[in-house]
Structure 1
């Protein structure tokens, strides 16, 4: 991924935050059958290894876990918000007419070595962590013990675990940082007016910080 210096994420923590807040990633593999992409939720362990470890599971019927082998390099992509940016939102456009449309977005690319796990203990851990994370906002969070043991045992036999030791973590936070403060603020306010609060707020913060440096 091409990442100009001004679009670099601020730190590793920001990339980890993006992954955890947008856990439904795309797993890209290149196995015996060629290129493949699978859309699956991931659990991130920030503390393991220099960049963290990703854990997930796929259906046993999904050929991806047999198409690749433990030790193969894979890529997991996580995308947060994105939005179109009109040149009309930049104040300088109305003065100099030297702006063009663009697209702003936040993404993280996690490269790493995959390990296939086909054992019940590992799978219980993965499903348990994913469930606790995504049920946390429910009034009565569902847990595995809510279902009969034989039912859960059957469900676990129908999945296979995927673990990725992240060896390289690359991100791109494209928020018009290469523009003047007034243009960043102008576009940020325009996005807020249109309900795009996530990128709008981020751009307003960047624009305000840049204005203070002048």
Structure 2
């Protein structure tokens, strides 16, 4: 991933937080014959041996074959993103030499894959995923809320995938390369557009 120095983000805690806040990611695998991509929700486990991504996908999905063969995986997590209008920049009124851009947050994880058929592993992964997603619900749903025989039947149609991360990198393109005056103006513009998530990421100091 192209990462100019101003936009690099390598702090592990920041990258982990972004993954957990935006767990729906694109899993990409490649062989000499094809490139396959699927969108999956991931859970992140931090272990003594390193960070591990866990997910599940349909057993009938063609990507399972690539994963079973130990294909290298690229997982793309997309965080907040927003268009930045050049009309917000103070420079527009001074010299007019400004153009539109796009601010965004992205995390890329790479690693070797392992396919898991163990029902107990799958139940644990489903529980971790839904517990995180259900947090804040008035009546959080759990796997135990569904009939056991129904869950067992559902498990037969999916497989688990585990990716031991060997490379994790982020890119935070949030106007760091602009003057303070421009950064304040962009934050104000995003806030006025209701994009407080992006506005809050712009460094103002």
Shorter-chain TM-score: what band?
Answer: over 0.9
Partner of residue 86, structure 1: 85
Partner of residue 212, structure 1: none
In 2, the alpha carbon distance for the partners of 1:97 and 1:138 equals 48
What SS does the corresponding residue of 2:9 show, helix, strand or coil?
Answer: coil
**Unmatched segments (≥5 aa) in structure 2:** none
TM-score (norm 2): 0.95
Partner of residue 109, structure 1: 108
Which digits, 9 at most, give the CA deviation of each residue in 1:105-163, with x for residues without a partner?
Answer: 00000011101101111111111111211112211111122122111111111110010
Mapping of residues 56-75 of structure 1, within 5 Å? 56-75=55-74
CA apart distance, 1:92:
1.7
Partner of residue 12, structure 2: 12
Partner of residue 174, structure 1: 173
Higher deviation after alignment, 132-141 or 186-195: 132-141
TM-score (norm 1): 0.91
Q: Contact 1:70 / 1:116 at 8 angstroms: preserved in 2?
A: no
Q: Contact 2:104 / 2:174 at 8 angstroms: preserved in 1?
A: yes
Higher helix share: 1
CA RMSD of superposed structures (Å):
1.4
Q: Which consecutive segments of 4 or more residues in structure 1 shift more than 2 A? A: 46-50, 67-72
CA apart distance, 1:67:
2.9
In 2, the alpha carbon distance for the partners of 1:164 and 1:9 equals 21
In 2, the alpha carbon distance for the partners of 1:61 and 1:165 equals 23
